[in-house]
Amino acid sequence: MNSLRQASLQSLRSLRNTSIQNSTTIAFKQQIRNGHSVRIILTSDLPDGKGYAGEVLSVKSGYARNHLIPLQKALYATPTSFERVGMSDPDLIVETSEEKKMRESMESDEDLKAADFLRHYLRNKTLEIWRMVDANSPIGSGLGAPIHPGMVDHVNVRDKLGRQLGIDLQDHELVQIYPEPISHALIEEEDVMEDTMQKMEVLKDGEDCKVQIKALGEYAVKIHLKGGQEVGLKLAVRKR
């Protein structure tokens, strides 16, 4: 999401990112490089009790490069090296169950606020797509007139959302079209729009909407957002 939604939610994301950094998900601490030092895993004991196999130390980079590594007394402290020796990085920070619960709660709260904001923004808006109609149609060029050539599908709706309403969806955010025309006067009420969205076919993971609109008319669209949130939108396919 960017433009209108992104600007409005930037402060929410900033708060979320700060919290995640403070409470931390699983992440490696930055490699110590102060004063040309590197972190190493000792694979052998060092003389004079300077270190023992299995210890993780910070040493001068030259000492590691020219002595410890060539003599196979140590490995650079990388994730691959820790896996190789069968040990965990002592600097690895793992979130507690309480921190995980707090993070998930904040993510859910942000998702809900993002959906509420978009729902409010779209409440009085109609996405308009213009198409040519079949000149030989027996019903003329009014509602229900067949589109010719072409049709309207989820790709067209996604594109128009960005160009017409300033809403650029992320890749995982899907657009789904209600398969039948529906009067916008009926779905002005929020509960009617919600009921209409509930009637739509459930999409499987990674599945795109297969509905193709082939006639002029009023339609409803469901936008699938992060966190399982859903927002309704009025769509009008009009004669060009």
Stretch 118-141: mean pLDDT, rounded?
90
pLDDT in tens, 184-204: 999 988 789 999 999 999 988
Stretch 140-154: mean pLDDT, rounded?
90
pLDDT exceeds cutoff 80 at 211: yes
**Predicted pLDDT at 138:** 83
pLDDT in tens, 57-85: 999 988 998 899 989 999 999 988 998 89
User: C-alpha angle with apex 235: 234 to 240, nearest 5 degrees?
Assistant: 150
pLDDT exceeds cutoff 50 at 210: yes
Task: List, in order, residues 6 or more apart from 74 with CB less than 8 Å away.
Answer: 40, 41, 42, 43, 44, 64, 68
In the block, residue with structure tokens 């600007």: 7
Stretch 153-180: mean pLDDT, rounded?
93
**Predicted pLDDT at 33:** 41
Please tell me the pTM assigned to this model: 0.58
Tokens for 171, please give them: 């890749």
**Predicted pLDDT at 88:** 85
**Predicted pLDDT at 6:** 52
pLDDT in tens, 12-57: 344 444 443 443 333 334 443 445 789 999 999 998 888 999 999 9
Stretch 180-187: mean pLDDT, rounded?
94
**Predicted pLDDT at 156:** 96
Cα 16 to Cα 92: distance, rounded to the nearest angstrom:
21
In the block, residue with structure tokens 């459930």: 202
Cβ atoms of 212 and 153 within 8 Å: the answer is yes
